[in-house]
Chain A
Amino acid sequence: MLQFKLVLLGDSSVGKSSIVHRFVKDTFDELRESTIGAAFLSQSITIHPNDGNEANAKGVVVKFEIWDTAGQERYKSLAPMYYRNANAALVVYDITQEDSLQKARNWVDELKNKVGDDDLVIYLLGNKVDLCLGTPDAEISQESNEDGDNEQKVRAISTEEAKQYAQEQGLLFREVSAKTGEGVKDIFQEIGEKLYDLKRDEILSKQNRQINGGNNGQVDIHLQRPSTNDPTSCCS
């Protein structure tokens, strides 16, 4: 079993907790309370890597340990504690909130500056696509008036804009809906495979070592990135 640490970051009320709950419990709650502090959850999935390794023919179980952080500004100083050892970061924005992408950009910058590790997989996620099914990107420019009563919200961030940003920064990118579940499972599958690819050599050598050590085939591998920065400096 592989174990990866994963952290969710992003502005408040973009739907981080909802995404996690869709992934972990496959439920959605319209009236979710804001997270305060952070919540720790875990969930396992099976991936099928194409690396020709016979040991993995049945698939590899990947356990995600997930830190679902609070988006509120006040808890920002605690964030380094959660992303410091992460293997992957999901940076979430709300496609109906213009400034949530800017917040997401700030998180990406912070991750790149503070972690500075190419092994960290950063995934940019646009959430709440279910709100904008009726408004394709082409119509964005025409939609000028904001209709508050309408459930159908106006898309504020086009797919192209976010996609382009993700490509520039080398991030994975997807638009999802925690409410309908669209795309949520795929994210974690994709991250699992990506991390597996990145760590293949490390994993294989550890596997061999443990098997040779006569561990009855029980293979537990914890891949923890070494701390890249001084724990005191990140919490100023």
Chain B
Amino acid sequence: MNLNENYLDTDVPKRQLRPSKSGNFDSIPIVAATSEPTTSVNLDETFFRKAASPVLITDERSVSRSTSINSLNTAYLASSRPFSQVRKFQARNNLLSADLISNNDDKSQPPKIQKKNSDLYSDWGNDIRSRVAESIYSMETSVRGSEIRRRPYVSNEIPNIFKLPNPNHVNEPDASQVLRDKNFLIFTSAGKPVYSMHGKDEQIMSYTGLVNTVISYFQVNGPSDLKTISTFASGQRLTFLDKSPILLMAQSERGESSNELLNQLDFLYSYILSSLSERQLLRLFSKRENFDLRNYLETTDFENLNEICSLICNRMFPDLLLNSLQCLPFRHSSRLKLQDLMLQQLDKRQDIPRGTLLYGLIIAPQNKLCCVLRPKGHTLHTTDLHLLFCLISHQFQNLDETQELWVPICFPKFNSSGFLYCYIKFLPNDADNNEKSALVLISAQKDAFFSLKTFSDELVAKLEGERLLKKINASKGFKLSDIPAPMVHHFIYKSKQNVQYVMPHFEINSSISLDSPQGLEYELKLKTYYQQLHGTVVRDNGNLLSRSILNFVKWSSKDKEDTTVDGMGMTFSELDEYIIGNSSFEQESVNMLGMAWVTPKFELYLIGNNGVVDKKVLFKSARKVVNWCQKHESRLFISDGAVF
């Protein structure tokens, strides 16, 4: 194999690193052997109770220092102590540590506090056990099934080293601030605003002039590759997409490549087309060049654009980056059965004229593709499917199985000037959660609803008869612990042939919901890691650098540099400030190693646990991941689908 190894250790932009705040007392030495995941044990009251008295804090801090060293060097020892002494546990994302309080034989611990807290946190015991167990299962040393308390306590959370927006403010329509770290603007060629992710009309108006000037500069200079303006001083990047009569602009400080931004703009443009179709769009503007498109778009369109923008900017949405679909892991035999049933049903309904049913899809919750029915030689473009998935997960989230939808959608990559008609029905789910899978039947004929309805009714009855619906609803994906690959925090494996990817569940504290600010912060963090990893294997035009690549990327911080970075306007979230203000915050040292591995067959993007700095160790795990994915390929991916 041609391994093109690039080490980027020194290339990490310093300003993106976060300083460690050592405070005015000796920093906790976090010394981990290279192959060991990071551990940090923190013993402090202030994490949990705002009103802790200063005396107590000092007390506890001294305890903290001694035990943390102790428990690091003898992880097993510390862990074998009774759980009653583990009083609190908190895993804040950017604290990145499982803070365990084990004050076992420490006489310095005032008994008063222990008593006070024991009832407060008594029910934490079980919770902690399970969460600690979750957080360590990627350790090779952990024996599955053995008693939890014999396991080492480690955190496999990853540090936040990027300058990211505070997710608390992400959804706030803060009108005063147009220039965010990321923004999307859509204009017409005549300079009328159509959509802006942030900022009101009055504020973005001034941009129209700028954008138009820039675009006409591009036009005057003939077809040129120049689509992006980058300023290195501020790290700003402005990328333009000219789809006259529509102009789109992305502004970003997040270090995305121009190609990535162009893809994102193209996705926004595709949404507009999916709603209007290109033919209609051109017709609207052919009559009047200064047509105000906003009069034609509806509230739903703006809501959907908002949703798509926030998906692109704030969520872990590798679909666009990797240009592939996420697939529902499903037992191979069940998937075959599912495909068989769909084909049988198609055979049975010979009365449905050929061509009425173009595609059939079953989409599991969280937009995972479960099954495809398609004509031979035709597949749907991933962009088209992403658009459909976005609609299903957002627009129709309030609907249930009692209604069936008939929705005209233009699939821009299939045919940008015409509409297809989608029969959408949510499938019944006995479980209480609000997760529904959907059956989508796509037709080119606008009056095919009732024939597709019968098709669907019979198919759903069969699926229920064969208990396949239950299986779809019960399919839960996989966890990192299912794979014997130690030291790995998270990975994305893309099968190139199938244009599909899989990734394990997020390794996130179970008490944090994915929609909470912490959950969003985690997604954003993970997203940024992957973005940078992916950036190392592609050219600026989006093509892979070479057929086979193996890149290691290292993110690390050095304390001295960090203090200088601090002066450059690093911002902390409120919680950070609070913790730092109480001198209890110990910034974990950052030693992250990521890996991008591209071969003609697959792409693997992998993030190691913090503290894993040995490339060999990570590569060994990566091979295990790849072996596992290839072994379970028929379960993880849809290879052909039901072809008729």
Proximity bits, B243-256, A CB within 8 Å = 1, else 0 = 00000000000000
Cβ-Cβ contact count across A and B, 8 Å cutoff: 62
Which A residues are CB-close (under 8 A) to B397? Answer: 33
Let me know if B127 is at the binding interface, CB within 8 A: no
Q: Are B300 and A34 in contact (CB under 8 A)?
A: yes
Considering the chains assembled together, what is the distance between the CA atoms of A3 and B407 in angstroms?
A: 24
CA distance in complex: A45, B90 (Å): 55
Contacts of A68 in B (CB 8 A): 403
Q: A140 near B: Cβ within 8 Å?
A: no
Q: Write out the residue numbers on chain B whose beta carbons fall within 8 Å of the beta carbon of A41.
A: 402-404
Are B398 and A12 within 8 A (Cβ)?
A: no
Contact in complex: B403, A39 (CB < 8 Å): yes
- Nearest CB in chain B to that of A68: its residue: B403
**Contacts A37-B405, A74-B296 given; does A235 touch B453 at CB 8 Å:** no
Given that A81-B446, A81-B447 are known contacts, is A40 also in contact with B398, CB under 8 Å in the complex?
Answer: no
Contact B404 A40 (CB under 8 A): yes
CB-defined A-B contacts under 8 Å, sample of 26: A12-B299, A32-B398, A33-B300, A33-B303, A33-B395, A33-B398, A34-B299, A34-B303, A36-B407, A37-B407, A37-B408, A37-B422, A39-B403, A39-B406, A40-B403, A40-B405, A40-B406, A40-B449, A40-B453, A72-B300, A73-B296, A74-B275, A78-B408, A81-B446, A81-B447, A231-B447
Question: B396 and A12: CB pair below 8 A?
Answer: no
Contact with B along A29-53 (1 / 0, CB 8 A): 1011110111111000000000000
**Cα–Cα, bound, A179→B391 (Å):** 26
Please state if A38 and B406 are interface contacts (CB–CB under 8 Å): yes
Please name 14 further chain A to chain B contacts, defined as beta carbons within 8 Å, in addition to the given A34-B300, A74-B298, sorted by A numbering: A12-B299, A29-B398, A31-B398, A32-B398, A33-B394, A33-B398, A34-B299, A37-B407, A39-B399, A72-B298, A74-B296, A78-B446, A81-B447, A231-B447
SS class, residues of chain B in contact with chain A: mixed
The 9 closest A-B CB pairs, nearest first, are A37-B407, A34-B300, A40-B404, A39-B403, A41-B403, A72-B298, A38-B406, A39-B405, A37-B406
Whether A39 contacts B447 by the Cβ 8 Å rule is no
- Is the beta-carbon distance between A12 and B402 smaller than 8 angstroms? no
Bound-complex Cα distance A231 to B402 (A)? 28
A75 in the interface (beta carbon within 8 A): yes
Residue numbers in B under 8 Å from A73 (CB-CB): 296, 298
Interface residues of chain A, those whose CB is within 8 Å of chain B, are: 12-13, 24-25, 29, 31-34, 36-41, 68, 72-75, 78, 81, 231, 235
Docked pose: A12 CA to B394 CA in angstroms? 19
0/1 string, B422-451, CB within 8 A of A gives 1: 100000000000000000000000110100
Distance of A61 Cα from B276 Cα, bound (Å): 42
Residue of B nearest to A37 (CB): B407
CA distance A38 to B404 in the complex (A): 8
Q: Interface residues of B toward A: which range? A: 20 to 34
A110 to B290, CA, bound (A): 31
Q: Which of chain B's residues have a CB closer than 8 A to the CB of A13?
A: 299
Q: Which residue of A lies closest to B396 (CB)?
A: A33
List chain B residues, Cβ under 8 A from A75: 408
Q: Which residues of A contact B404 (CB under 8 A)?
A: 39-41
A39 CA / B396 CA spacing, docked (Å): 11
B408/A34 in contact, CB under 8 A: no
* Residues on B with beta carbons closer than 8 Å to the beta carbon of A29: 398
Query: B275 to chain A: which residues have CB within 8 Å?
Result: 74
CB-CB < 8 A to B396: which residues of A?
Answer: 33
Report the nearest A residue to B424, measured CB to CB.
A37
Chain B, Cβ-Cβ closest to A34: B300
Contacts of A32 in B (CB 8 A): 398
- Chain A residues with CB under 8 Å of B453's CB are 40
Report the Cα distance A104→B635, complex, angstroms: 53
Contact present for A36 and B403 (CB under 8 Å): no
Are B300 and A36 in contact, with the CB atoms below 8 A?
yes
Cβ–Cβ < 8 Å partners of A12 in chain B: 298-299
Residues of B within 8 A of A38 (CB): 405-407
Question: Which of B302-318 touch A at CB < 8 Å?
Answer: 303
Question: Nearest Cβ distance between residue A231 and chain B, in whole angstroms?
Answer: 7
B395 and chain A: residue at smallest CB distance? A33
User: Would you call A25 and B402 a contact (CB within 8 A)?
Assistant: yes
Give the nearest-CB partner of B402 in chain A.
A41
CB distance from A28 to the nearest CB of B (A): 12
Min CB distance B278 to A, Å, is 15
Which of A32, A40, A78 neighbours the largest number of chain B CB atoms within 10 Å of its CB? Answer: A40
- Chain B positions 450 through 471: 1 when the CB is less than 8 Å from some CB of chain A, otherwise 0: 0001000000000000000000
A13 to B303, CA, bound (A): 14
Bound complex: CA of A110 vs CA of B25, how far in Å? Answer: 80
Please indicate the chain B residues that have their CB under 8 angstroms from the CB of A74 in the complex: 275-276, 296, 298
Contact with A along B113-154 (1 / 0, CB 8 A): 000000000000000000000000000000000000000000
Contact partners of B391 in chain A: CB under 8 A: 36
CA distance A68 to B300 in the complex (A): 16
- Distance A25 CA – B400 CA, assembled complex (angstroms): 11
Q: In the bound complex, what is the Cα–Cα distance between A25 and B405 (angstroms)?
A: 17
Q: Complex: how many Å from CA A40 to CA B394?
A: 19
Check if A24 sits within 8 Å of B298, measured CB to CB.
no
A219→B399 CA distance, assembly (Å): 32
Contacts of A72 in B (CB 8 A): 298, 300
A34 cross-chain contacts in B, Cβ below 8 A: 298-300, 303
Q: Give B276's nearest chain A residue, CB to CB.
A: A74
Among B300, B394, B396, B421: residue with most chain A CB under 10 A:
B300
With both beta carbons as reference points, the residue of chain A lying nearest to B297 in the complex is identified as: A74
How far apart are the CA atoms of A24 and B403 in the complex, in Å? 10
Residue of B nearest to A31 (CB): B398
Closest B residue to A74 by beta carbon equals: B298
> A81 — which chain B residues lie within 8 A by C-beta?
446-447
B296 surroundings in chain A (CB, below 8 A):
73-74
Tell me the smallest distance from the CB of A167 to a CB of chain B, in Å. Answer: 33
Contact of A24 among B402, B421, B449 (CB under 8 A): B402
Cα A24 to Cα B408 with chains together (Å) = 24
Cα of A6 to Cα of B275 in the assembled complex, Å? 27
Residues of A contacting B399 with CB < 8 Å?
39
Within 8 A of A (CB), among B274-288: 275-276
Which chain B residue lies CB-closest to A40?
Answer: B404
Q: B398 contacts which chain A residues (CB < 8 A)?
A: 29, 31-33
